[in-house]
Amino acid sequence: MTAPFLSEAEALRDDLVAVRRDLHMHPELGFQELRTARIVAEKLGALGYEVQTGVGQTGVVGLLQGGLPGGRTVLLRFDMDALPVHEENDVSYRSQTPGVMHACGHDAHVAIGIGVATLLARHRERLPGTIKLMFQPAEEGLGGAKAMIADGLLESPRPDVALGLHVASDQDLGSAVVRPGAMMAASDALTIVVRGKGGHGAHPDQTVDAVMVGSQIVVALQSIVARNLCPEDTGVVTIGAFLAGNAGNVIAETAELRGTIRSFEPPVRELLHRRVREVATGVAATYGATAEVTIRIGVDATVNAPKPTTVLYEATAAVLGADHIDTTYRTTGGEDFSAVLARVPGSYFFIGSRSDERTGAPHHNPRFDIDERCLPQGVAILCAAALRCLDGEAE
């Protein structure tokens, strides 16, 4: 059996590539996606969608009422923002904006979203319910999903199911990751300010050295995952920045450590937060310093609900073959679509975009690129899954 929507999606491939390359050449940072949003809004309007712009600043929502009776609404999400990365690829569609690049593949997501919008509009008469397209700004750490939710994204109509995807340069073209449960991690930002007593580098006895204390804290924090976390569980405590001191002969009074904490399960998240506070303040006290620990809650874990995931799995199997679906992989990366999935049952999946060394460069790397043959695959999977969700199969 050929997959529903696949041949139609393949026929759109040149259009999808053109959209993706145009966006790639004109990347826009989070909450600045004005050109991208205008293109999306124009295309959705031309296809007959009811379009709302300015949702969550630069977000766009498209509504399509199907031609068959049915009360369900299915939300499909595509993020639009680029990154502050300077592109190093030597390609005809290279970024035209110095220092800004679609280095995570959100240009591909918008192109897939336009493709999905096109095919679902073409099949409008067969749709028993409402399609709600979410073109989201500012996924990269700025809270675009929450901004859209705050602007009423999940009301009138309220979605019954939500689906989303990400291209993945660590997965082969023609493969996908579709799995229930926590697929991406909760991500929280950590700041520790160590306060000691500054002084002359020749007289350490008269000081409390914030550089030395901060260094002990960095090392001691690594014992949390190694010695406190159950070996069956997964977590990360990373210190990525250590800011202290200005001169070799001055003992620093303060040091600031910045890091990130990742977890999949709420009890693990709670454990990591508690131990980070205990270890940092305890180590500081040992040396007569203080440590002020601030943990800023970032995104929750991205948790896929069982039934929508089954629908997505079957739609993906029809397009790529069940042999090409990984049902166990998960990543300690974070994803703000988790804010939608915390409120609406749904599922999020990875579609492989790597076909050689070039398209295998990591996300956020200046040489990131995709094999564009994944675009029609993503379109076909989402269209088929959305139709089945409208039929109530995800409940």
Regarding 184 and contact with Zn ion (CB under 5 A), the answer is no
Question: Based on CB atoms, which residue is closest to Zn ion, 93 or 368?
Answer: 368
Alpha carbons 170 and 361: distance in angstroms, whole number:
8
The residue nearest Zn ion at its CB is 104
According to DSSP, the β-strands at 176-177 and 161-172 are unpaired
Q: How far is the CB of 375 from Zn ion (least distance, A)?
A: 16
Catalytic residue (one of 28, 139, 253, 335): 139
Q: Which segment (23-31, 99-107, 183-191, 237-245) binds Zn ion by CB under 5 A? A: 99-107
C-alpha closest to that of 50 among 60, 59, 37, 35: 60
Catalytic residue (one of 28, 79, 81, 300): 81
Tokens of 100: 């800004």
State the chain's maximal CA–CA distance in angstroms: 82
According to DSSP, the β-strands at 161-172 and 72-79 are parallel
Q: How far is the CB of 80 from Zn ion (least distance, A)?
A: 10
Number of residues that bind Zn ion (CB under 5 A): 1
CA dihedral 325, 330, 333, 339 (to 10 degrees): 90
Question: Based on CB atoms, which residue is closest to Zn ion, 59 or 196?
Answer: 59
Strand partners, 190: 259, 295
Q: Are 8 and 377 in contact (CB under 8 A)?
A: no
Q: Are 339 and 151 in contact (CB under 8 A)?
A: no
Alpha carbons 217 and 258: distance in angstroms, whole number:
12
Q: How far is the CB of 106 from Zn ion (least distance, A)?
A: 6
Can you tell me which of 3, 85, 104, 325 binds Zn ion, judged by CB under 5 A?
Answer: 104
Q: Which segment (103-111, 147-155, 220-228, 245-253) binds Zn ion by CB under 5 A? A: 103-111
Question: Based on CB atoms, which residue is closest to Zn ion, 166 or 275?
Answer: 166
Clarify whether 79 is annotated catalytic: no
Q: How far is the CB of 7 from Zn ion (least distance, A)?
A: 29
Q: Which of residues 349-368 bind Zn ion (CB under 5 A)?
A: none
Clarify whether 326 is annotated catalytic: no
Regarding 47 and contact with Zn ion (CB under 5 A), the answer is no
Q: Which segment (16-24, 104-112, 207-215, 380-388) binds Zn ion by CB under 5 A? A: 104-112
Alpha carbons 254 and 198: distance in angstroms, whole number:
8
User: Is 363 strand, coil or helix?
Assistant: coil
Residues at the site binding Zn ion, with contacts judged by CB under 5 A: 104
The residues carrying an active-site annotation are: 81, 139
